[in-house]
A and B are shown apart, each in its own frame.
Chain A
Amino acid sequence: MRRRAADLWVRIGGGVIVALAVLAVAAPSAATHDPNAIDLLEALQPPSALHWLGTDSLGRDLYSRLVFGARISLLVGVGAIGVAMLIGTALGLAAGWYGGWVDSALMRFVDVMLCFPTFFLLLAIVALIGQSVANIILIIGVTGWMGVARLVRAEVLSLKEREFIQAARVLGFGAGRIMWRHLLPNALSPVLVSATLGIGSAILVESGLSFLGLGVQPPTPSWGNLLIDAKGTLGVAWWLTLYPGLAILCTVLAFNLLGEGLRERLGRS
């Protein structure tokens, strides 16, 4: 019974994400207007047949900006998690495999990193190295690898004692080879779950940063910075607040559903 619920989550979550990805990739075709086209005569119009979700204070079509914003969200989400996975997996493998002082040092490092509020770190680094999309992907990744590292380390520690690893060592396989061909594939499931949930989290972080003006900069539309406009027109243009936020909510929800569903399904086998 639990399994069927998990399958449902995977399908709903996965479905939404795939649809979103298609939309994002096909953005130029899916959008109805040029997302940056300013038309002051049409400013602050509620949803209509012409502008499906209304327009913002500069007359730009909200729907089109949302569609292009999807690109940013997915790009940053997946990119940042990619970076986090790389760093976290590498460090986790090293810590688990080599043990000893390497492990202690790395885990201390993780502890130290976790002492800082993520947002504080993010803001500080963004202020120091600038706001490009690439930077943001990097920074979110660099501040989010700690969970993966611990996870991978735990997996390695438990796998290390199993016979097939012992066998590999006895046969003289080098550490690198063992890690790559034996340890990683077994550690894959929890990492995958973590990555999926992490993408949702990264999207939330990026949108928060953009909302504060320290993420993706206008005029490039990001769901987060679309809400800056909403704040300025609070009470006047409800559509500007509702739709971008809804987009974020539904997307992150989809990733969370997918991740939790995967966790149920993969964890059982």
Chain B
Amino acid sequence: MLTYLIRRVLGLIPLGIGITLLCFVVIHLTPGDPAVVGTDLNPKISLQARQRIKEFYGLNDPLPVQYGRWVARVARLDFGRSLADNRPVSEKIAERIPVTLTINVLSMLLILLLGLPIGIVAAAKPHGVFDHATTLLVFLGFSMPTFWLALLLMQWLGVQWQWLPISGLQGLGTDSWPWWERGWDLARHLALPVFVSAFGGLAGVARYMRSQMVDVLQQDYIRTARAKGLPEPRVLFDHALRNALLPIITILGLSVPGLLGGSVIFETIFAIPGLGRLYYDAVMARDLMTVMGLLTISAGLTLLGNLLADLAYAYADPRIRVGGQGG
């Protein structure tokens, strides 16, 4: 188990190099001076800003030197200062992480809480009514433009019936409320964003869980369990589920980039001050420093998510955790 851990962490290094390299390439993507691009596309970038970009990325130095300095900075989480408001990028990112993290974690929870049971029930009676309904749900989930879903929900639930608030994280003038009322207010504000964020993932997990369960239920050891006289619910939940759930852990880890990317859309629509919104604003303002910082961080978060998922999987699967002698 420990060797596995060490190997995995070491495996991250080439990926880390690759990521920083790619970001580096992106900065230099445009023909000519990247600092000039700012001015061409957006007169907001002043001469001073151009100068700052040049200095930060050392664009006057030879490429390898530039890259080396860039990596050193990344290691210290120094992404320079935002071109928009001159605050350190890492600070701006850090203050937004809790929000995005909260929403994404809640999203994942919702996905699991709804998606897993749906998949299990669908697999219990394949080709039954519930199964077909699930298939329909899955197709809808994969075909739905999330921003449209957001708009529709905003229109009905927010404007027409006024059940839920549609923007921001807290209502006006709620600072003076007692903490439990503020908590409830927060929950109401989070309801729509979390749901929209979870929608696509829900369909995916439901479908995956179903196919996993169907596969597992066809295995010999399930037949053994039945042959031993165990009642069906026991067979399903005790024997089958343990096996079917394992790959879900990996899926969760892989969903990090998807959730982050999706957050751009719903954070913009619902005016949530998170990472996605920061990124969008930075892109619109051509604040290249923040953009690069976020790009790198998001890739880093993905790596982290994958690592955590792999570790969790290694722990959960006794075949890896305990190793085998086989033979």
Contact = CB atoms under 8 A, between A and B. Distances in A.
Interface residues of B toward A: which range? Answer: 35 or more
Nearest to A197: B142
A194 interface: no
Contact of B148 (A108, A200, A245): A245
Nearest to A104: B14
A127 B41 contact: yes
Nearest to A240: B151
Interface string A190-232: 0000000000100010011001111000000000100100110
A120 B279 contact: yes
Contacts of B159: 234-235
A144 to B, nearest CB: 12
Nearest to B31: A129
A111 B12 CA distance: 11
B279 to A, nearest CB: 6
B26 A253 contact: no
A41 interface: no
Contacts of B106: none
A242 B286 CA distance: 32
Given A111-B15, A208-B265, A256 B22 contact: no
B295 to A, nearest CB: 6
Interface stretch (B77-85, B170-178, B189-197, B253-261): B253-261
B22 A112 contact: yes
A249 B143 contact: yes
Interface residues of A toward B: which range? Answer: 35 or more
Interface in A35-53: none
A256 B283 contact: no
Nearest to B154: A234
Q: Is the interface of B mostly helix, strand, loop or mixed?
A: helix
B151 A212 contact: no
B15 A241 contact: no
Given A117-B257, A124-B26, A249-B145, A231 B15 contact: no
A211 B279 CA distance: 16
A224 B147 CA distance: 9
Nearest to A244: B148
A119 B264 contact: yes
A121 B283 CA distance: 11
A117 B160 CA distance: 34
Contact of B143 (A120, A126, A200, A231): A200
Given A116-B299, A214-B283, A257-B139, A241 B257 contact: no
A257 B140 CA distance: 10
B15 A115 contact: yes
Given A125-B26, A234-B155, A249-B143, A115 B264 contact: no
B211 interface: no
A252 interface: yes
Interface string B227-266: 0000000000000000000000000000001101110110
A123 B29 contact: no
Given A118-B257, A128-B30, A245-B145, A123 B22 contact: no
A175 interface: no
Contacts of B41: 127, 130
A157 interface: no
Contact of B145 (A116, A207, A235, A260): A207
Nearest to A211: B147
B247 to A, nearest CB: 17
Given A212-B268, A235-B155, A241-B155, A115 B143 contact: no
A256 B61 CA distance: 49
A112 to B, nearest CB: 3
A230 B258 CA distance: 25
A249 B148 contact: yes
Contacts of A8: none
B260 A231 contact: no
A123 B290 CA distance: 13
Contacts of B67: none
A90 interface: no
Contact of B140 (A119, A128, A208, A253): A253
A173 interface: no
Contact of B26 (A128, A213, A256): A128
Interface string B9-46: 00000110011011000100110001001000100000
Given A128-B37, A204-B145, A235-B159, A116 B257 contact: yes
16 contacts: A112-B19, A114-B257, A115-B299, A116-B257, A117-B298, A124-B295, A125-B29, A127-B283, A127-B284, A128-B37, A129-B29, A208-B145, A211-B265, A212-B280, A231-B151, A235-B155
Interface of B: 14-15, 18-19, 21-22, 26, 29-30, 34, 37, 41, 139-140, 142-148, 151-152, 154-155, 159-160, 257-258, 260-262, 264-265, 268-269, 279-280, 283-284, 286, 291-292, 294-295, 298-299, 302-303
Which 9 residue pairs spanning A and B have beta carbons closest together? A117-B261, A245-B148, A112-B18, A119-B261, A235-B159, A253-B143, A252-B143, A115-B299, A117-B257
